[in-house]
Structure 1
Amino acid sequence: MEKTKRSRTSSLHNSNNIKRRKIKGKSSFGILALSYRYFLVKTVETDEFDDRIYLNLSKESVTHFEDLSNEIIYEIFEYLDYLHVYQSFFDLNIRFRKIFTNSNFPIKINISSISKSIFQRYYTHIIIPYQHRIISLSIVNFLSFDLDISPHRILSTFTRLKTLILVKINSEYLENILEDIASLPNLSSLTIIPIDYVKNANDLLLQIFRLSVLKYCKISFKNEHTNFDLLPFATNEYSSPTEQFVIKHQIDVNNLDRLLSYVPQLRRLSLDRLGGYYKNRLNHPIALNYLTHLFLKLIHFTFNDFELLIKNLFCTIQVLHLYIEDGEEYLNAERWKQLILSYIPNLRIFDIQCIYSFVINKNAQLRFDFLFDQFTLPFWFERQWFFARRDYFKYGYHNSIFYSTNPYRYE
């Protein structure tokens, strides 16, 4: 009997130790919603575990949501969409209305599917009177842009705005919007994805590169003619502080070095569709000394041109994510080995997905089996980079996808 009691005591002690380790050094809260009731479990920040602190749902830890302090309510609201919070709590009682109207709590606005009447009330009671509190604005409903009361028409007054996301916007608004946000002192993140073709993409890019504190930029400037006119190379007037650049539309390789000349602080670059053939080799040196992460989707892009890109622009990368269509020539393990050793020796992550097709016959199958086997040699094994191949049939051709199964290199 004594042994059983000791065993239970020991098990309980071990269980408590596990709980202590899980919450040690952390500040967190959990909310469990059951019907209209909310239960709060709160831990305190501590470096040493206090035996008086336990995670349990005793009567003392159970409370109604409206009994929480303002500070905790503010912390909860940060994780919720502000429109939903406004709709749920603004008319609840006087105290919650004052939380909305008499505080400096930062506002994050996300306008997606919303009725015109609700939006008009939201615009009148929140957006207009509290412009100085708005730090994030996301509009992804193209109908919202056509309203006379749309917030994109008064962006210059959002002095605390840090993040701006405009999706499905008509491109005719963009030039004025970029003029309005040029003076915003805190705007560090910008996403623009128009619903239609963009005619003056280079002018818009130059406006973006003038934004003085921009760190993240994501754009998709589709053009019905596929390629844009070449940008001029950057001057001192256009030295953007952008560190992460995501381009979702097609980029011609002959415009790439010109584009990158505007972002010397770049650390992460993602190009969703890079194509074309070099007409002029790179003769204007571009220094991207901070670039570590590169994400490329190549469309009918030769390995020769890819090697030039690496040698001239991307020698500093540590992470490479690469997707290639019609990329049979990229299945050259020895060529990859020499490129990595000579020009990208700091590469830690090598993630490739290569799609290619060929007419079915025995010789072709043997040749691709041989090419695949070259990626199992010691150079790849030592870096813990492993690959696989998946075959399928389409339109009478034998198609294969060559891809990384473990792109991470362990030191």
Structure 2
Amino acid sequence: MSNRKRQKTTRISQESQILTATKFEALPNELILMCFNYIDFYQLYETFFCLNPRFNKLILYDAKIHVDFGAIPSGKFLTFCFNLNQLTNTNKNYPLSIRADDEYQFNIFFEDDLFKDKFSKLKSLIINNIKIATLSNIIFDEKIKLNETLERLSLMEDISGEDYEIQELCNNLISSKMKSLKYLNLNFEIYECECEHDVYEPKAYVDLNFEELSIRENSLNNLKTIIIGYIPKNDRDFATTRISFYSLAEKLLPCLPKLKNLIINSVYLDLYDYQYYKRKTSSIEEKKFVISSNLKLIKIWIIMNKYKKDDNKKLQKMLRNYFLNNNSTTIKIFTINNKNVLRKKF
């Protein structure tokens, strides 16, 4: 490329950047803030802060703060945390939403005294790659008190622990200890343990049974959305977190009086279910369970047993009867394995 062409290309690029910046700055504050809400706070800070007083003011006083620790280069993590602390000390905003993708990031932030006075403003927490014990200790820490302020909690990938730790955490998250929680996503990984003299063979699934809920009084939690397991992209996706129909109907849902959205991958019939329902199939299907009268959306995937096709139909029928016999007037969307239950009879 000749120098003249190179200079022309550079000039056009510079003019384009100036024109884009000029057009963006011409937008009203409301539209700029809408754009800022789609940008992680680290990128927002690196790109727009200190450009001009107007952007500084919008970021300091009006922008919502969503921090994805995974988007921060490791070499800049501590510096950014320090800058974030300085910013939140000078304005009314706090880190309303945080995503941590490993236990190191999680511990640095939540165990640092710089941030302890700001946790009361933390509303959303998305967690990956962390041990149950660490997570539980932070959420129910008496000084941090995240259990009183969190509105959204998502346990996404590589959340591992002993079975008793998972059950205890789930029971506590469903209980009235979580004062403000409205959205909960539970997704756990198989715990693998290799000992010196023995190799523990993990189970195929993490089963949530919510046994402790059966001996408590009705929970006073405010949950409106609960997701158990991840939402599959296709029928071949393999779920690692599941719940039996009995645990769902008898243990969990009666403790969710305000629930609007229920998404589960997967529901299954366990050995106790088979024995129980063989004796009392008719009474179970006719029984009126206590569930939320606010349910609007239900999406359930069931574990299909290719050797017991009759059981697959039985489970689908039981799920349909369980929800529609109790609450048929409020449910707007109800699918089992992506099939519309409201239009299909089993």
- TM-score, with structure 1 as normaliser: 0.56
**1:275 maps to 2:268:** yes
Measured after TM superposition, the shift of residue 184 of structure 1 is: 6.0
Taking structure 1 as reference, are residues 125 and 311 closer, same or farther at Cα in structure 2, changes over 3 Å only? same
1:92 aligns with 2:55: no
Contact preservation (8 Å) 2:151, 2:182: yes
* Contact 1:295-1:322 at 8 Å conserved across structures: yes
Look up the match of 1:246.
227
CA–CA distance in structure 1, aligned partners of residues 147 and 18 of structure 2: 41
State the 1:80 CA deviation. 2.3
Q: Which one of 289, 293, 317 corresponds to residue 289 of structure 1? A: 293
Provide the C-alpha distance between the structure 1 equivalents of 2:154 and 2:27, rounded to a whole number of angstroms: 36
1:169 deviation in Å? 2.6
Aligned counterparts of 2:111 and 2:35: Cα–Cα separation in 1: 27
Q: Could you give the per-residue CA deviations for residues 191-219 of structure 1, whole angstroms, max 9, x where no partner exists?
A: 11251433212211122123122221111
Report the CA distance between 1:151 and its aligned residue: 4.4
Q: Assess if the C-alpha contact under 8 Å between 1:234 and 1:261 holds in 2.
A: no
Offset, 1:187: 2.9
Distance change >3 Å, CA 262–CA 234, structure 1 → 2: farther
When residues 308 and 237 of structure 1 are mapped into structure 2, their CA distance, relative to the original with a 3 A threshold, is closer
1:262 aligns with 2:220: no
Give the Cα–Cα distance (whole angstroms) in 1 for the partners of residues 323 and 84 of structure 2: 47
Give the match for residue 17 of structure 2.
35
Higher strand share: 1
TM-superposed CA distance for 1:173, in Å, is: 1.4
Partner Cα separation in structure 1 for residue 116 and residue 265 of structure 2: 29
* Higher RCO, 1 vs 2 (CA within 8 Å, ≥6 residues apart): 2
Q: State the TM-score, normalized to the length of structure 2.
A: 0.66
Q: CA separation in 1, counterparts of 2:28 and 2:314?
A: 63
Question: What CA distance in whole angstroms lies between the structure 2 residues aligned with 1:95 and 1:140?
Answer: 30
Match for residue 117 of structure 1 among 61, 68, 75 = 75
For residues 125 and 237 of structure 1, do their structure 2 counterparts lie closer, same or farther at Cα, with a shift above 3 Å needed? farther
For 1:149, which of 85, 89, 108 is the aligned residue?
108
Counterpart-to-counterpart distance in 2, 1:164 and 1:206: 18
Give the letter for the 1:89 counterpart: F
Higher helix share: 2
Q: Which amino acid aligns with 2:319?
A: L
- Aligned: 1:218 with 2:232: no
CA distance in 2, matches of 1:125, 1:287: 47
Counterpart in the other structure of 1:136: 96
Give 3-state SS (helix, strand or coil) of 1:291's partner. Answer: coil
* C-alpha contact 1:268 1:293 (8 A) present in aligned 2: yes
Distance 1:308 1:129 in 2: 54
CA–CA separation in structure 1 for the residues paired with 2:25 and 2:296: 47
Match of 1:318 in 2: 332
What is the aligned residue count?
273
How much does 1:89 deviate? 2.3
2:197 matches 1:208: no
CA RMSD of superposed structures (Å): 3.5
- Choose 1 or 2 for highest CA Rg: 1
Report how far residue 280 of structure 1 moved: 3.0
Aligned pairs for 1:100-111 (under 5 A) are 100-101=59-60, 103=61, 105-111=63-69
1:101-144 Cα deviation digits (max 9, x unpaired): 5x354322222232122222210011465176235323242265
The corresponding residue for 1:351 is: 340
User: Could you say what secondary structure the match of 1:255 adopts?
Assistant: helix
Aligned partners of 1:178 and 1:207 also within 8 Å = no
Q: Check 1:184–1:251 CA distance in 2 against 1; reply closer, same or farther (3 A cut).
A: closer
- Give the Cα separation in 1 of the matches to 2:118 and 2:340: 44
Displacement of 1:314 in angstroms is 4.5
Q: Match of 1:322, as an amino acid? A: I
Q: Does 2:120 match 1:159?
A: yes
What is the SS of the residue equivalent to 1:245? strand
Does 2:184 match 1:170?
no
What is the alpha-carbon distance in structure 1 between the residues aligned to residue 17 and residue 65 of structure 2?
A: 27
Pairing 1:321-332 to 2, within 5 Å after superposition? 321-323=335-337
C-alpha distance in structure 2 between counterparts of 1:165 and 1:127, whole Å: 20
Unaligned runs of 5+ in 1: 1-32, 40-62, 325-349, 353-379, 386-411
Residue 79 of structure 1, aligned match among 15, 22, 38: 38
Check conservation: 2:37, 2:63, Cα contact below 8 A.
Answer: no
